[in-house]
Amino acid sequence: MGWFGKLMFGSMGLLIGGPLGAIAGAALGHHLVDRADEYAQGHRRIGHAEKNQVAYFVTMFAILGKLAKIDGVVTNEEIAAVDRFIHSLNMDDGERQFAKQVFNEAKDSQYSIDDFAMQFYGIAEGQPAVLTSFLDVLFRIAAADRIFDPAEESALRRIQNIFHISDEQFNNLKATYFDDVDRYYEVLNCTPRSSTEEIKGNYKKLVKDFHPDRIVSKGLPEEFMDFAAKRFREIQEAYEKIRQERNF
């Protein structure tokens, strides 16, 4: 990330302006000042491509900050997921620290996810691959706690609309990370926030109610027996998917 050394003690905020510039400037204000000499030596003008890299970087961690807190609390799982994402990138310690500062500054800022998304779209408009890959990363972080909170989905839907990404692309990304898990909870008459004990209890009751032997003993019509058999398989599949997701 060559742009980082060039802008570390330059005018990053002025370069991109708007909400993103404000967050970048605030994050730099809290950065590791003991590396000033190292970065000052690399400070020079940057080109258009590097400006876009700056915007992508700041927008990503700004939106991640807002997304992590959108359901009211930043969980340990979400922090760990962001940390893993940061360490998966080719960055040195200073750049990682800056990413974390952007994340922290943004999550408590006055700006909204929409503010950041609209500014970034103005920069990346005409680059659908960039915009789609951006949304892909956001899904990855949203899936960190294995629960797709309605507030998170609403936020990603707004970003989808701002980025002009199709419903088909959005739903494909959602299926990649969540495997339509809400449907499995619904089969067991639960929600993603139900306890493991409640899920197990509902599963046992439903298996008992729809077990083929029990249905036969009731002397029900054949049409209903076919439905019950299908329902029984759905219950087993749903429980197995949730069991794998929750690791119990």
DSSP string computed for the chain? -HHHHHHTTTTHHHHH-HHHHHHHHHHHHTS-GGGHHHHHHT-----HHHHHHHHHHHHHHHHHHHHHHTTSS--HHHHHHHHHHHHHSS--HHHHHHHHHHHHHHHTSS--HHHHHHHHHHHHTT-HHHHHHHHHHHHHHHGGGS---HHHHHHHHHHHHHHT--HHHHHHHHHHHHTTHHHHHHHTT--TTS-HHHHHHHHHHHHHHH-HHHHHHTT--HHHHHHHHHHHHHHHHHHHHHHHHHT-
Amino acid in the structure at residue 86: I
Give per-residue pLDDT as tens, 54-112. Answer: 888 899 999 999 988 886 777 777 788 788 888 877 788 888 888 999 999 999 999 99
Higher pLDDT, 184 or 221: 184
- Is residue 202's pLDDT more than 50? yes
Name residue, tokens 């959005």.
170
Question: Which CATH architecture group holds 184-246?
Answer: Orthogonal Bundle (1.10)
CA angle 56, 57, 61 (to 5 degrees): 115
- Is residue 45's pLDDT more than 70? no
Name residue, tokens 């500062």.
101
Name, in order, each residue with C-beta under 8 angstroms of 190's C-beta and a sequence gap of 6 or more: 198, 199, 202
pLDDT at residue number 53: 80
Q: Where exactly does CATH 1.10.287 map onto the chain?
A: 184-246
| Cα distance between residue 95 and residue 237, in whole Å | 44
Are 152 and 67 in contact by the 8 Å Cβ rule? The answer is yes
Between 72-76, 115-119, 217-221, the lowest mean confidence (pLDDT) is in 217-221
User: What are phi and psi for residue 110, nearest 5 degrees?
Assistant: -75, -15
- 215 token code pair: 């249905």
pLDDT at residue number 164: 97
pLDDT at residue number 40: 43
* Residue in 154, 118, 164, 168 with CA at minimum distance from that of residue 18: 118
Are 146 and 246 in contact by the 8 Å Cβ rule? The answer is yes
| Cα distance between residue 86 and residue 80, in whole Å | 10
| Cα distance between residue 144 and residue 32, in whole Å | 28
Name, in order, each residue with C-beta under 8 angstroms of 143's C-beta and a sequence gap of 6 or more: 177, 178
pLDDT at residue number 30: 64
- Is residue 10's pLDDT more than 50? no
pLDDT at residue number 37: 45
Average pLDDT over residues 141-151: 78
pLDDT at residue number 25: 83
* Residue in 79, 208, 100 with CA at minimum distance from that of residue 144: 79
Tell me the C-alpha to C-alpha distance, in Å, between residue 39 and each of 61, 83, 90, 245. 21, 23, 17, 44
